[in-house]
């Protein structure tokens, strides 16, 4: 009471305005009869984590987007838990729990094993840290000396939060979250929703509203700018929109993203494109006037989103995510940058470079220009390269190549990439269908497909073979002469020249018979039995 009276005398601003203490909100406990959450939509293991923490004497709630989705009648994909227990205390309560992170220390509680395992993310209530709130947190009796010692470096001069491992009460934890609809807490045991910032009302109005002053919140953590776009895209099919005050500073605040480490920006870009709402995200970026300037590689994706190939890749990625199938960032980025690789490759082929080295050079150029060192040239770059290098090999359907291709670990990604190329008419549909059949066929069927490919190759070669006329050397000078043979090509028989109609002739050899060896007789130089058939 005394502190509030002093604040009033000193003229400190009222809650919710900038310059004074932040608006921590008023706690409201909303019963099940009002919020209407269906308990059957709650993940059993998340509820067990909450119950275990409460039995140990701690506060614990399901928090964030899961509560928002439950209010909307949706089954959340992920469940996070918030508690007043420290990471070490949480870890001690579960057999398989791991503390991760430095800037944000959280605990992963693991249930199950193998592909069926599930991770429940547990975070400790955090204090709201800005230059005006730090003094208030320092007065919290629960704040340790070690935490207080690091608080002076927790926020930089511009207001950006550098470290967030200072624990605090639940009301401050709610205030440090971004949107009101993401700042609610649900207790699956008592079925109470705790709401500090009218999140339930905003959920009913389908409004995305930033807690506190939007410009200040974007400055505290510029990645909130990207999160605003992502949530707007995710919830736009449900009719959600960003309120005007929260949207107004977005474009102007974009420059703050330059302060964010490139590795984090790269990860945030992938979240925009790989959370099942890539098409809606790009629409939101254009709608908000943020189509350029967030991240260079994202700029390329937005610019090419309307081209048939990239659009097909984005639609396919959204489909796979919404069907619960895995997606790899290497595949989508390979699709976005394929235009650069293909053009660079064609330029080198026009310069008569060998196809494979030309393709490798084109890929290196794209990595240097578009990706830089963000990926560390590690697995991501290696997977992208393998997808691209595989493309010309799909044209080879004879010999051992098809068998070697289907054995490669990245074959499926390379095939899906080629399948998209066929969908937009970049390669023949028949080629994609052949490989679709081949990868799933038994040995007998594969032999049939190989025979089919050989017959198609012969027919194609026969159709492309130019008409060749034999002309004596002493023929009139007016007779047309062939262009000089390419380097490394076989030259014609002595005493004869080639004249062609159309392109330069294929190399031709005269078959020589050895004594006793006839056509098809098996002698050296004899034509194969199938030749010409």
DSSP structure string for 218-283: HHH-THHHHHHHHHHHHHGGGT-EE-HHHHTTHHHHGGGGGGS-HHHHHHHHHHHHSSS-HHHHHH
Residue after which a domain boundary falls, among 462, 494, 528:
462
Residues 6+ apart with CB under 8 A from 184: 63, 67, 68, 71, 193, 194, 195, 199, 200
Residue 229 lies in a domain: yes
| pLDDT category of residue 164 using cuts at 50, 70 and 90 | low
Q: Is residue 371 in some structural domain? A: yes
Segment among 41-55, 101-115, 150-164, 390-404 with least mean pLDDT: 150-164
Q: What pLDDT shows up at residue 162?
A: 52
Task: Kindly report the CATH number assigned to the domain that includes residue 115.
Answer: 3.30.460.10
Query: Which range (35-49, 147-161, 248-262, 385-399) has the least confidence?
Result: 147-161
In a domain, 297, yes or no: yes
Phi-psi sector, 212: left (phi>0), alpha (psi -120 to 50), beta: left
Q: How sure is the predictor about 137, in pLDDT bands with cuts at 50, 70 and 90?
A: very low
Give helix 278-287 / helix 262-273 axis angle, nearest 10°.
110
Please tell me whether residues 427 and 372 are part of one structural domain: yes
Residue ending a domain, among 186, 205, 224, is 205
pLDDT over 90 at 353, yes or no: yes
pLDDT over 60 at 48, yes or no: yes
Same domain, 272 and 177: no
Structural domain including 437 reads: 329-462
**pLDDT recorded at residue 371:** 80
According to the model, what pLDDT value does residue 526 have? 39
Q: How many whole angstroms separate alpha carbon 401 and alpha carbon 406? A: 9
Active-site residue numbers? 78, 80, 178
Q: Is residue 93 part of a domain?
A: yes
Residue that is last in its domain, among 266, 285, 319: 319
Q: What's the pLDDT at 468?
A: 57
In terms of domains, do 109 and 64 share one? yes
pLDDT for 506 equals: 45
Per the domain annotation, does 63 fall within a domain? Answer: yes
Could you tell me if 198 and 222 lie in one domain? Answer: no
Q: Do 186 and 285 sit in the same domain of this protein?
A: no
Give pLDDT, residue 461: 79
Question: In the predicted model, what is the mean pLDDT of residues 147-169?
Answer: 55
Query: Is there a single domain that holds both residue 339 and residue 314?
Result: no
Choose the weakest-confidence range: 23-27, 39-43, 356-360, 483-487.
483-487
Same domain for 361 and 434? yes
Highest mean pLDDT among 132-136, 142-146, 432-436: 432-436
Per cent of the chain over pLDDT 90 is 62
Residue 214, in any domain of the structure: yes
Q: Are residues 393 and 304 in the same domain?
A: no
**For the ranges 55-69, 132-146, 194-208, 267-281, which has the lowest average pLDDT?**
132-146
Same domain, 259 and 314: yes
Residue 5 has pLDDT above 80, yes or no: no
Q: Where are the alpha helices (DSSP H) in 376-442?
A: 379-393, 401-406, 411-423, 429-440
More confident residue, 527 or 25: 25
> Tell me, what's the pLDDT at 377?
53
Domain holding 347: CATH number? 1.10.3090.10
Q: Are residues 224 and 303 in the same domain?
A: yes
Q: Please give the tally of structural domains in the chain.
A: 3
Could you tell me if residue 521 is inside a domain? Answer: no
Q: What is the mean pLDDT of the chain?
A: 81
> In this structure, what token pair is assigned to residue 121?
């993310």
Q: Looking at the structure, tell me whether residues 309 and 390 fall in a common domain.
A: no
pLDDT the model gives residue 375: 52
Q: What is the predicted pLDDT for the residue at 75?
A: 92
Model confidence band, residue 186 (pLDDT cutoffs 50, 70, 90) = very high
Q: How confident is the model at residue 37 (pLDDT cuts 50, 70, 90)?
A: very high
Tell me, yes or no, whether 57 and 195 share the same domain: yes
State yes or no: pLDDT of 120 exceeds 50.
yes
What angle (nearest 5°) sits at the alpha carbon of residue 118, between those of residues 411 and 72? 105
Q: How long, in residues, is the chain? A: 533
Residue 436 lies in a domain: yes
pLDDT reported for residue 459:
83
pLDDT tens sequence across 67-103 = 999 999 999 989 999 999 999 999 999 999 999 987 7
């Amino acid at each position: 009471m005394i502190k509030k009276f002093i604040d009033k005398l000193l003229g400190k601003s009222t809650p919710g305005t900038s310059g004074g203490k932040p608006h921590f909100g008023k706690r409201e406990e909303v019963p099940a009869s009002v919020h209407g959450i269906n308990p059957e939509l709650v993940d059993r293991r998340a509820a067990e984590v909450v119950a275990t923490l409460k039995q140990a004497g701690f506060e614990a709630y399901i928090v964030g987007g899961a509560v928002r989705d439950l209010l909307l009648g949706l089954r959340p994909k992920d469940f996070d838990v918030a508690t007043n227990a420290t990471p070490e205390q949480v870890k001690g309560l579960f057999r398989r729990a791991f503390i991760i992170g430095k800037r944000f220390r959280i605990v992963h509680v693991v249930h199950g094993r193998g592909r069926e395992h599930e991770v429940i993310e547990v975070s400790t209530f955090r204090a709201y840290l800005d230059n005006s709130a730090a003094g208030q947190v320092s007065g919290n009796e629960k704040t340790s000396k070690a935490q207080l010692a690091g608080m002076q470096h927790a926020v930089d001069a511009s207001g950006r939060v550098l470290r967030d491992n200072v624990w605090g009460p639940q009301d401050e934890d709610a205030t440090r979250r971004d949107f009101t609809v993401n700042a609610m807490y649900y207790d699956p045991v008592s079925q109470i929703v705790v709401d500090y910032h009218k999140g339930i009302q905003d959920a009913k109005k389908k409004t995305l509203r930033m807690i506190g002053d939007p410009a200040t919140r974007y400055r505290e953590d510029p990645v909130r700018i990207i999160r605003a776009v992502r949530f707007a895209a995710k919830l736009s099919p449900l009719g959600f929109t960003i309120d005007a005050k929260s949207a107004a500073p977005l474009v102007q605040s974009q420059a703050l993203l330059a302060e964010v480490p490139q590795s984090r920006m790269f990860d945030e870009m992938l979240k925009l494109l790989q959370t099942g709402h890539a098409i809606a995200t790009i629409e939101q970026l254009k709608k908000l006037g943020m189509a350029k300037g967030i991240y260079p590689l994202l700029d390329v994706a937005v610019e090419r989103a309307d081209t048939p190939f990239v659009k097909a890749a984005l639609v396919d990625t959204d489909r796979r995510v919404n069907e619960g199938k895995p997606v790899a960032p290497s595949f989508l980025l390979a699709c976005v940058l394929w235009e650069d690789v293909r053009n660079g490759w064609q330029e080198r082929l026009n310069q008569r470079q060998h196809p494979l080295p030309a393709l490798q050079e084109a890929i290196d150029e794209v990595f240097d220009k578009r990706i830089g060192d963000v990926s560390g040239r590690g697995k991501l770059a290696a997977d992208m390269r393998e997808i691209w290098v595989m493309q010309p090999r799909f044209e080879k359907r004879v010999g051992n190549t098809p068998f070697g291709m289907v054995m490669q670990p990245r074959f499926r990604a390379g095939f899906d990439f080629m399948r998209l190329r066929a969908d937009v008419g970049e390669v023949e549909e028949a080629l994609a269908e052949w490989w679709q059949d081949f990868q799933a066929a038994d040995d007998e069927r594969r032999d049939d497909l190989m025979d089919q490919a050989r017959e198609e190759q012969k027919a194609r070669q026969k159709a492309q073979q130019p008409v060749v006329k034999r002309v004596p050397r002493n023929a009139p000078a007016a007779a047309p002469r062939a262009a000089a043979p390419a380097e490394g090509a076989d030259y014609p028989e002595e005493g004869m020249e080639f004249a062609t109609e159309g392109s330069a002739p294929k190399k031709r050899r005269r078959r020589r018979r050895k004594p006793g060896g006839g056509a098809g007789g098996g002698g050296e130089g004899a034509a194969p039995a199938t030749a010409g058939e």
